[in-house]
């Protein structure tokens, strides 16, 4: 996916270039700020802006103190482009123009895209990122120049807007430059551009939003967008058309957002989206990665955001729920404000594995003595709020894999935990145990979600004599959301003999009672009352009989 770029025109002077008779050879585009850390990918594009062929005899390029004599043997046809590059072919230590903007075969002109440009000229020169100029001389007289006075975006060229004017700006092409093609800033008649594709996974489905703009000077209609799956497991890669649809008519400078829902298999799918060919091909196609029904491979599992009582570190647990090892080196996590890298180097989380990310691994293992699972301390930590916050997990392709929003935390070192049983995987609740369950399956107590308060006791009489028959009763509670929940057992005198929960924010839906008091003593035979209250909503009393 390519981000939209707002470019700033750098107006040098809106004047016509001097020309040699009817011939007009110009400096049309310059890549000064090479992509990444490369130091061999600078290049200069020349363009014949005349109606006749131009021989390079007598022409020179001047860059600082360096002078490059253009070969007499080269003739440029009308409206043809020519590239002067610092390195044409890659070597063992550096890429070259052919390997980066060609097909990296080590031969120039063996593809239709390369064949439209004559073999580039390799020359010795150096360009500064923050400022510089390229002068074109004919018989020692300047006939064209292109100059810049600021550092452009990494890997983006400076382009001339109109061939006959000294108006330049940062390229807005998806790939950052347009060697051998019409400049991305130059208006053309038919120019439908695919600016970006947004990927949004949702419950096994994938929503793709295509942002399409008519950057041309005339209205366009009946254009089509084709969506393909690219299978890179074969050589050469194979393409499968998945969808094709008509783009609504667009006036000049109008943008259209089109959202489509798909269902793909797997975790990730390599995609290509392309528009119908028009006067500018460089912005018609985007390669991107979409998500499938098995996405996300990694999920958030447990959060300790309010450490207390000797625990002096926050921690977050993630789980690999896929069948493949996942490299965390380009995954990020964070809160509502910031995202941070999980690992600065390659780090694999195995299928089914839980991994603890700790604010301080020293404090974590000091508190959780005997912990024998894997843990990692990221270089930066977001510091989660105790009252309310958001936890986010973002994948290699900048797609949000998972998020969890909470409005409170718990005292006593209880954690926010994700359910693991069928039907509970998308629910979060409070850990059943103090200190949570780092590195293992979660035991979770969920907030009630019923529409009314109901209590089921089965059986409603018990004989707790350890003979294996009716030694305990199962209690099932369904309750509406409430301020708090209380579950207690009273004897016939109205005294509390057993407290399960007292004004707790979370209670389990199912639990058992073995007829014993809070002190662990067997209670005498008789009738007891189970009292269940959803704070501020309703209370229910149900009898339980203890017999022998």
Over the stretch 66-81, which tens digit does the pLDDT of each residue have?
999 999 999 999 999 9
Mean pLDDT of 489-494: 94
Q: Is the peptide bond before 414 cis (omega within 30 degrees of 0)?
A: no
Compute the C-alpha angle 11/24/129, nearest 5°: 40
DSSP characters over 451-513: SS-EEEEESSEE--SSSSSS-SEEEEEE----S-EEEEEE-TTS-EEEEEEEEES---SEEEE
Report the alpha-carbon distance of residue 54 to residue 68 in Å, rounded: 17
- Given a contact cutoff of 8 angstroms between Cβ atoms, the answer to whether 429 and 504 are in contact is no
Task: Answer left, alpha or beta for residue 282, where phi above 0 means left and psi between -120 and 50 means alpha.
Answer: alpha
Q: Check residue 521 and report its DSSP letter.
A: P
Q: Is a pLDDT exceeding 50 seen at residue 206?
A: yes
For residue 15, what pLDDT is reported?
33
- Given a contact cutoff of 8 angstroms between Cβ atoms, the answer to whether 513 and 472 are in contact is yes
Q: Flag the least confident range among 230-234, 305-309, 397-401, 503-507.
A: 503-507
Contacts of 235 (CB under 8 A, 6+ apart): none
Over the stretch 537-547, which tens digit does the pLDDT of each residue have? 889 999 999 98
Residue 352's pLDDT band, with cuts at 50, 70 and 90, is: very high
User: Which sign does the torsion angle of CA 130, 136, 142, 143 carry?
Assistant: negative
Domains contained in the chain, CATH given: 9-170 (2.60.40.1260), 192-291 (2.60.40.10), 298-445 (2.60.40.1260), 454-546 (2.60.40.4070)
For residue 447, what pLDDT is reported?
78
For residue 387, what pLDDT is reported?
87
Rounded to whole angstroms, what are the CA distances from 405 to 285, 334, 363? 36, 12, 26
Over the stretch 139-191, which tens digit does the pLDDT of each residue have? 999 999 999 999 989 999 999 999 989 999 999 888 899 999 999 999 999 99
Q: Is a pLDDT exceeding 80 seen at residue 18?
A: no
Over the stretch 260-275, which tens digit does the pLDDT of each residue have? 999 999 999 999 999 9
Report the alpha-carbon distance of residue 543 to residue 522 in Å, rounded: 17
When comparing pLDDT for 39 and 261, which is higher? 261
Portion of the chain with pLDDT greater than 90, in percent: 78
Query: Which residue pairs from 339-347 have beta carbons closer than 8 angstroms and sit at least 24 positions apart in sequence?
Result: 339/392, 339/394, 340/378, 340/379, 340/380, 340/381, 340/382, 341/378, 341/379, 341/380, 342/376, 342/378, 343/376, 343/378, 344/379, 347/376
Rounded to whole angstroms, what are the CA distances from 534 to 44, 460, 475? 75, 21, 15
Average predicted confidence (pLDDT) for the chain: 91
Report the alpha-carbon distance of residue 426 to residue 442 in Å, rounded: 13
Nearest Cα to 333, choosing from 307, 314, 352, 311? 314
Q: Is a pLDDT exceeding 70 seen at residue 22?
A: no
Report the alpha-carbon distance of residue 347 to residue 330 in Å, rounded: 10
Report the alpha-carbon distance of residue 414 to residue 437 in Å, rounded: 10
For residue 57, what pLDDT is reported?
95
Q: Write phi, then psi, for 114 (nearest 5 degrees).
A: -75, -35
CB burial readout 362-378, b (16+ within 10 A) else e: ebbeebbeeeeeebebb
User: Which sign does the torsion angle of CA 358, 361, 367, 368 carry?
Assistant: positive
Residue 23's pLDDT band, with cuts at 50, 70 and 90, is: low
Q: Is a pLDDT exceeding 60 seen at residue 107?
A: yes
Q: Write phi, then psi, for 365 (nearest 5 degrees).
A: -75, -20
Over the stretch 399-415, which tens digit does the pLDDT of each residue have? 999 999 998 899 999 99
Mean pLDDT of 409-435: 91
- Given a contact cutoff of 8 angstroms between Cβ atoms, the answer to whether 271 and 230 are in contact is yes
Q: Is a pLDDT exceeding 90 seen at residue 87?
A: yes
- Burial, 13: exposed, middle or buried (Cβ in 10 Å; 0-12, 13-18, 19+)? exposed
Q: Flag the least confident range among 2-16, 72-86, 327-341, 513-527.
A: 2-16
- Given a contact cutoff of 8 angstroms between Cβ atoms, the answer to whether 221 and 252 are in contact is no
Report the alpha-carbon distance of residue 390 to residue 378 in Å, rounded: 18
Q: Write phi, then psi, for 278 (nearest 5 degrees).
A: -145, -155
For residue 468, what pLDDT is reported?
80
Q: Is a pLDDT exceeding 80 seen at residue 283?
A: yes
Report the alpha-carbon distance of residue 110 to residue 119 in Å, rounded: 11
Residue 506's pLDDT band, with cuts at 50, 70 and 90, is: confident
Q: What are the respective helix, strand and coil percentages of the chain, to the nearest 5? A: 5, 40, 55
Report the alpha-carbon distance of residue 184 to residue 169 in Å, rounded: 10
For residue 345, what pLDDT is reported?
95
- Given a contact cutoff of 8 angstroms between Cβ atoms, the answer to whether 61 and 135 are in contact is yes
């Amino acid at each position: 996916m390519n981000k939209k770029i707002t470019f700033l025109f750098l107006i040098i002077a809106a004047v016509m270039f001097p020309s040699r008779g009817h011939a007009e050879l110009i400096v049309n585009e310059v890549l000064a700020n090479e992509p990444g850390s490369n130091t061999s990918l600078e290049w200069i594009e020349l363009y014949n802006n005349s109606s006749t062929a131009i021989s390079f005899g007598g022409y020179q390029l001047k860059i600082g103190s360096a002078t490059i004599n253009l070969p007499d043997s080269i003739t440029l046809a009308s409206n043809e482009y020519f590239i002067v590059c610092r390195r044409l072919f890659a070597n063992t230590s550096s890429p070259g123009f052919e390997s980066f903007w060609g097909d990296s075969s080590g031969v120039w002109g063996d593809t239709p895209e390369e064949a439209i440009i004559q073999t580039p000229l390799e020359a010795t020169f150096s360009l500064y990122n923050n400022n510089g100029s390229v002068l074109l001389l004919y018989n020692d007289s300047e006939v064209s120049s292109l100059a810049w006075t600021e550092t452009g975006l990494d890997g983006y060229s400076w382009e001339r807007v109109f061939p006959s004017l000294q108006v330049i700006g940062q390229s807005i092409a998806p790939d950052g430059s347009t060697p051998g093609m019409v400049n991305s800033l130059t208006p053309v008649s038919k120019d439908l551009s695919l600016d970006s594709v947004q990927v949004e996974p949702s419950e096994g489905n994938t929503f793709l939003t295509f942002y399409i703009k008519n950057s041309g000077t005339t209205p366009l209609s009946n254009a089509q967008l084709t969506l393909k799956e690219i299978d890179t497991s074969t050589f050469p890669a194979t393409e499968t058309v998945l969808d094709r649809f008509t783009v609504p008519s667009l006036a000049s400078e109008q943008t259209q957002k089109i959202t489509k829902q798909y269902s793909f298999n797997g975790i990730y799918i390599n995609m290509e989206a392309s528009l119908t060919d028009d006067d500018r091909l460089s912005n018609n196609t985007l390669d991107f990665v979409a998500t499938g029904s098995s996405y996300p491979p990694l999920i958030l599992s447990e959060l300790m955001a309010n450490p207390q009582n000797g625990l002096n570190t926050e921690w977050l647990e993630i789980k690999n729920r896929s069948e493949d090892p996942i490299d965390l080196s380009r995954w990020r996590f964070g809160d509502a404000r910031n995202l941070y890298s999980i690992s600065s180097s390659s780090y694999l989380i195995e299928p089914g594995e839980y991994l603890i990310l700790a604010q301080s691994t020293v404090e974590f293992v000091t508190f959780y003595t005997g912990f024998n699972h894997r843990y990692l301390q990221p270089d930066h930590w977001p510091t989660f709020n105790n009252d309310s916050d958001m936890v986010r997990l973002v994948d290699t392709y900048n797609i949000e894999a998972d998020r969890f929003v909470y409005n409170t935390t718990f005292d006593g070192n209880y954690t926010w935990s994700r359910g693991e049983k069928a039907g509970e995987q998308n629910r979060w609740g409070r850990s059943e145990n103090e200190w949570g369950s780092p590195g293992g399956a979660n035991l979770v107590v969920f907030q009630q979600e019923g529409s009314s308060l109901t209590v089921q006791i089965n059986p409603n009489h018990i004989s707790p004599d350890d003979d294996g028959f009716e030694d305990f009763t199962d209690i099932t509670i369904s309750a509406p959301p409430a301020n708090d929940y209380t579950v207690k057992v009273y004897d016939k005198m109205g005294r509390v003999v057993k407290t399960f929960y007292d004004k707790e924010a979370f209670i389990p839906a199912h639990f058992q009672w073995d007829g014993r008091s809070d002190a662990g003593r067997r209670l005498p035979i008789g009738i007891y009352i189970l009292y269940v209250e959803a704070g501020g909503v309703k209370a229910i009393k149900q009898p339980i009989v203890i017999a022998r």
